[in-house]
């Protein structure tokens, strides 16, 4: 599969971005420089997480959001041969902090001439109405996209991974954002401690019933320095050792996810410097090709086992 061929067995978010913005869109990862308050308030924070994995520390060292954007555009624009960029407030919980301070930093992205849209990734319990109102008011300037972590719909799993919120809080945040016409992507992790494949599918059935715009699917990864590292060394936590072990679970989950919900990500993607397990050594295009082939072999696709009541298209 080459970079311009859209997948046909799942609803690709990248294909949507190409269509919406008229070409390949690259995301510029940004760091507000504020540690996630969840780690402070509920130590050790989410047990699979550790700082510096998702966005490298060198990005925050560039200073202002404008500096980070300019550096990212130079680096990523050449690599992806594009002039279309999304500002991606990705690091930690990117709505933590004083609202006025946050809006000033978001506005650097809204004002940047090369930025076509702004994405903010955060926790569902850090998406208050005032913040959502302020973001809605900015959608007349550029599109705004939100990302909220859920990871699992199961209360016992959320307690085990120390998420500090439940599925109802997540659903409530999705509803409040969507009511303001702010599209939401959900993050889900497959392979969390104590979960069976059936529980993972249940999480996707739950997501399918929400007015989501997209999902990002991650496989559980063990990072050096994360709270899960020690139990992993003791053999108490397992990961999908091979992609072939993960693929059937991923396909089962996507089959119950209605086609109207786009798929932004099929696997997690941490740099090898932080990664203990698993290391499948597969490129992104290989993964997409294997997912496409997996669906073709089953003669299914995303949404083929979705609840029909969940397939009603959204109004925008």
Least CB distance to ligand SF4 at residue 88 (A): 14
Alpha-carbon radius of gyration of the chain: 19
Cα distance between residue 262 and residue 66, in whole Å: 30
Cα distance between residue 124 and residue 188, in whole Å: 13
Site residue total, ligand SF4 (CB under 6 A) = 10
Interface positions, 275-304, toward ligand SF4 (CB under 6 A) = none
> Judged by CB under 6 A, which of 49, 94, 214, 251 binds ligand SF4?
49
Cα–Cα distances (Å) from 59 to 29, 69, 118, 265, 282, in that order, read 8, 10, 17, 22, 25
Least CB distance to ligand SF4 at residue 160 (A): 13
CA 267 to chain centre: 10
157 binding ligand SF4? (CB under 6 A) = no
> Judged by CB under 6 A, which of 7, 18, 30, 39 binds ligand SF4?
39
Cα distance between residue 68 and residue 72, in whole Å: 6
Closest CA to 174 of 138, 137, 149: 149
- Segment interacting with ligand SF4 (CB under 6 A) among 45-53, 99-107, 130-138, 246-254: 45-53
Cα distance between residue 203 and residue 222, in whole Å: 21
221 binding ligand SF4? (CB under 6 A) = no
Interface positions, 178-217, toward ligand SF4 (CB under 6 A) = none
Interface positions, 158-177, toward ligand SF4 (CB under 6 A) = none
Interface positions, 84-143, toward ligand SF4 (CB under 6 A) = 92-93, 123
Q: Which residues bind ligand SF4 (CB under 6 A)?
A: 36, 38-39, 45-46, 49, 92-93, 123, 149
């Amino acid at each position: 599969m080459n970079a311009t061929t859209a997948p046909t067995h799942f609803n690709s978010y990248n294909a949507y971005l190409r269509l919406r913005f008229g070409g390949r869109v690259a995301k510029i990862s940004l760091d507000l420089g504020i540690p996630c308050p969840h780690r402070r308030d509920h130590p050790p924070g989410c047990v699979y997480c550790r700082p510096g994995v998702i966005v490298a520390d060198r990005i925050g060292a560039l200073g202002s959001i404008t500096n980070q954007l300019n550096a990212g555009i130079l680096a990523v624009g050449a690599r992806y041969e594009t002039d279309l960029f999304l500002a991606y407030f990705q690091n930690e919980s990117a709505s933590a902090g004083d609202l006025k301070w946050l809006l000033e930093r978001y506005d650097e992205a809204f004002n940047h001439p090369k930025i076509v849209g702004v994405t903010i990734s955060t926790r569902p319990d850090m998406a208050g109405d005032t913040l959502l109102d302020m973001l809605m008011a900015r959608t007349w300037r550029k599109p705004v996209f939100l990302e909220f972590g859920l990871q699992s719909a199961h209360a016992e799993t959320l307690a085990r991974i120390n998420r500090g919120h439940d599925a109802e809080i997540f659903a409530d945040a999705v509803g409040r954002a969507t009511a303001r016409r702010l599209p939401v992507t959900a993050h889900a992790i497959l392979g969390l401690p104590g979960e069976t494949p059936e529980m993972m599918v249940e999480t996707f059935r739950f997501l399918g019933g929400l007015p989501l715009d997209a999902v990002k699917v991650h496989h559980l990864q063990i990072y050096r320095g994360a709270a899960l590292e020690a139990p992993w060394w003791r053999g108490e936590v397992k990961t999908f050792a091979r992609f072939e072990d993960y693929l059937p679970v991923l396909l089962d989950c996507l089959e119950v996810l209605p086609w109207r919900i786009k798929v932004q990500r099929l696997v997690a993607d941490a740099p090898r410097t932080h990664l203990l397990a698993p290391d499948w050594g597969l490129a992104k295009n290989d993964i997409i090709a294997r997912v496409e082939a997996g669906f073709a072999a089953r003669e299914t696709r995303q949404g083929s086992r979705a609840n029909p009541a969940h397939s009603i298209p959204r109004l925008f």
